[in-house]
Amino acid sequence: MQADAGIEIIPCNDFAFYDLMLDTAVLVGAVPARYGAPTDGEIDLDIYFSMARGRQDAAADVTAMEMTKWFDTNYHYIVPELDSATRFRLASQHPFRAVQRARAAGIAHPRPVLIGPATFLLLSKIMDEGVKRADLVSDLTQVYAEVLARFKEMGVAWVQMDEPALIKDLDHEAREIYRKAYDFIGTLANRPSIMLTTYFGGLEENADLAPSLGTEGLHLDLARSPQQLSGILDKINPQMVLSLGVVDGRNVWRTDLDKALDLIKTAADRVGSDRLQIAPSCSLLHCPLDLNLETKLDPEIKSWLAFGLQKLEEVKALTRALDEGENSVAELFTASRRALAARRSSPRVVIPQVRERLSQITEKMARRHSDADKRRSLQRAELRLPPFPLTTIGSYPQTEEIRKLRADLKKGAITPQDLEEALREETKRTVKFQETAGLDVLVHGEFERNDMVEYFGEQMDGFVFTENAWVQSFGSRAVKPPIIFGDVRRRAPMTVEWIAYAQSLTSKPVKGMLTGPATILKWSFVRDDQPLRDTCRQLALAIRDEVADLEKAGIKIIQIDEPALPEGLPLKRKDWETYLNWAVDSFKLASSGVRDTTQIHTHMCYCEFNEILDAIAAMDVDVISFEGSRSRMEILEGFRQKSGSRRGFDFPSDVGPGIYDIHSPRVPSVEEITELLNRALAIIPAERLWVNPDCGLKTRGWHEIIPAIKNMVQAAQALRRKMDSSIRIAEEAGALTS
C-alpha cells in the first residue's frame, strides 16, 4: 500500500505479535529467568507469549510481565525487567526476516525499525537495587552493534532508530545513557546510516542533545510541535538528513497542507530540499487503515477526515509540492482547503445550548456535600457491607454467542427485541452467578455494550462512528475509537434501564457502570479545533446527568471509570499541573451531584500513577480500584509514602488493588491471591481494603472466570474469619482484664 501510494522510504520490522518493546527485549535476550529461556540460540514464540500473557499448563505456571501505556497513547507495551543476572545477547532473527520479507514483497530498500537502546533502558524496570541503567549501556549496545553489522551485510542502507524518550524530561543519568550509547554506535565502521526518530512531542530542552548524537538523520514530530523546527535548524550539522513529520499520525483529521508546506519550505530554504524527507509524525499504527472502507460514514464529516492510506497520499502530495511545485498537486491542495473551510463553518459543530451550559458551571458543582470520612460513615450504615468487600470491575465475557447475536441483528436475522431478550437472560445469569459465588457488590455485566467508550458516544451528540477504523491496543486486541467532531451532549438516559433491571434481580447492591469524561476524551479521536479542556467539560456534564438519573433510580453505588486519566498526562512535567487541574475538575463535575450516601467508585488500570497520587486523591472518590497483580502490589508503595504521617493511612478513599490479572489466561490460586492481599494489608488498613480483579472480565472466558472468582472469594473469606477471630480474642482479653 505504501509503495502504491508513492512512498519511497518504506519501513519494516515495525510489526509485532504483541508490542515492539517486547520484541526488543527478546531481540537482546532480556528474558527473566522464570521463563526458562535458553542461554543460546533463538528465543521462541512460546516464551515470547509467556512473557506477555503468562502461562499455566503442564510445562509451566508463570505470571506475565507488567504492562503499561506507550507514552500518552492507548497502545500498551510489556515492561522489560533488568537485573544483575541479565545477560544481553542477540536472541532473535525477527528483524532480519522482516528485511527478507519486505524484499520478497518487492521493496528493494526497506528501512528496518528498532527501538533505540536508550529508550529501551529508560522504559525498562530495574529489579535489583544495585543495578544502574548506565552500567548496562555497554553490554546492550554490543548487541545493537551485532544487529547493525548484520543489516549492513544484508545491504541495508538506513536503519530507523526510534528514541521517543528524547521528548521527555531527561535527568543527568538519562542524558549520559544517550551519549554513552550513541558515542559507541558512532564508532562502528560496519553499520548502516541511522535515522534517529523522535515523536509524540518536541525536543525542547533536548534540542541540543538529539542532533549531537552523531546519527546521519533526525526525525521530528512537527504535527505535535511545529515550533521546534527553527531551533533544530540552527543545531544540525551540514550533512544531517532531516525527516519532517508534518502529517499527524495520531489523529484522523485532514492535514492543513498549506501550513505543512510552509514548514517544509522553511526547512528547505535553510538546508536544501535534497536533505529533507517528508513523513507522518509517528507510526501509523495509531491511526485507522483506510477511509475508503467506511461506506456508511456521514459524507460531510467523512470529507474532513484522513486515515492511514489518505495520510500517505498527503505525504506524497507535500513531497511533490516541494519537488515539482504546488501546481503539480493543485487539485489536492484545493480539496484540502475546501474541506478545512467546510469543517470550520459547519453548523453541526457548535451547539449553542451546550456552550451556554458550560458558561454556567460553578465551583460548587464540583464539590461533594461532606468530606470523605463523614461520607464513609454514612455509606457503611447504608450499605452494610462485610470487611474486605468483594466485587468485580464491570464487564463479564462477551462470548461468541453474544457477538453472533449482534452480527445476526446487523444482518436482519433477528429483531432488536430478540437481542434485548437474550441479553436480559445473560444479565440474569450473571447476577445469579455473582450472588452464588459470594460477591458483595454486583455488576450487570455490560452485555449490551460494544465498547466502554463507543457505547456512550453512540448516545450523545457530537460523535460519529466507523465500521472498520480499528487500531491496535495490545497483542491481538484492537479498539475502534469514536470520532468527536462537535459539541457533546447526552440525548437521554444511557444506562439506567439496564442497571435498574439488574438491581431488580437481587437484594445486593449493583454498581452503576459509567466511563469518565477524561477516558472518553482520551480514547476517542478528538476534535482539534478547541481546547481539550472544553471538550472534557462537555463530556463531564453529560456523565453528571447520567449519575443523577442512576441515583434517582435507586442505585446506591456508581462507578465512573477513568483508566485514561493518568495516561493523558502530558509528556513534559511542566504541563502536568494544568492538565491535572482540568481533568480532575471534570471528573468531580461529573461525580459530585449526589447525596453523601451514594458511593462513588472509580477504576484505573495499567498506568504509573504514584507520582500523581495527590491529584488522584483530589478526585474525592469513595473507592478507587486499580491494577495491582502484575506488579505484585508494588504500586502501593506510593500509598505507603503518602501515609508516612502520624495519622497513619492518609489516602482519603477506600482502595481495591487488583489481585487477579485479567489480561492473562492464568487462574490465580487461593494462596497466590492471599499473598497479594497480605501485601496490600501491610499498607492499607483492613477496614479500607476492597477485593477485586485488575480490570473488567470482558476478554476472558467463563471457564477461566469461574475458578478465579471462586479462589478470590475463598481468599477474602479466610481473611474475614481471621479478622473475626482476632476481634474475639481481643474482646475476651478485655473481659478477662475487667
Instruction: Say which CATH topology domain 103-345 has.
Output: TIM Barrel (3.20.20)
| % of the chain beyond a pLDDT of 70 | 97
Second CATH level (architecture) for the domain 374-396+438-726: Alpha-Beta Barrel (3.20)
Model confidence pLDDT, tens digit, residues 710-732: 999 999 999 999 988 776 666 66
Find the catalytic residue in 94, 219, 444, 663.
663
| Per-position DSSP letters for 54-78, written without gaps between them | -EESSS-EEPPPPEEESTTSS-EEE
Residue 646: the pLDDT is: 43
- Listed in order, the ranges of the chain carrying CATH 3.20.20.210 are 103-345, 374-396+438-726
Residue 734: the pLDDT is: 64
Listed in order, strand segments (DSSP E) in 401-441 are none
CA dihedral 141, 143, 145, 148 (to 10 degrees): -120
Does residue 603 carry a catalytic annotation?
Answer: no
Low-confidence ranges of the chain (pLDDT < 50): 645-647
pTM for this prediction: 0.92
Residue 648: the pLDDT is: 57
Cα–Cα distance, 591 to 365 (Å, whole number): 9
**Angle of CA points 509, 456, 700, to nearest 5°:** 65
Q: What are phi and psi of 378, to 5 degrees?
A: -65, -40
Cα–Cα distance, 176 to 559 (Å, whole number): 45
Residue 324: the pLDDT is: 95
Cα–Cα distance, 625 to 601 (Å, whole number): 8
Burial class for 589, CB neighbours closer than 10 Å (0-12, 13-18, 19+)? buried
CA dihedral 154, 158, 159, 164 (to 10 degrees): 180
261 grid coordinates: 508546506
Q: CB-based contacts of 237: which residues, under 8 Å, 6+ apart?
A: 211
Q: CB-based contacts of 573: which residues, under 8 Å, 6+ apart?
A: 169
How many CA atoms within 13 Å lie on the side-chain side of 480?
A: 15
Among residues 666, 698, 584, the alpha carbon closest in space to that of 56 is found at 666
> How does the average pLDDT of the chain come out, rounded?
94
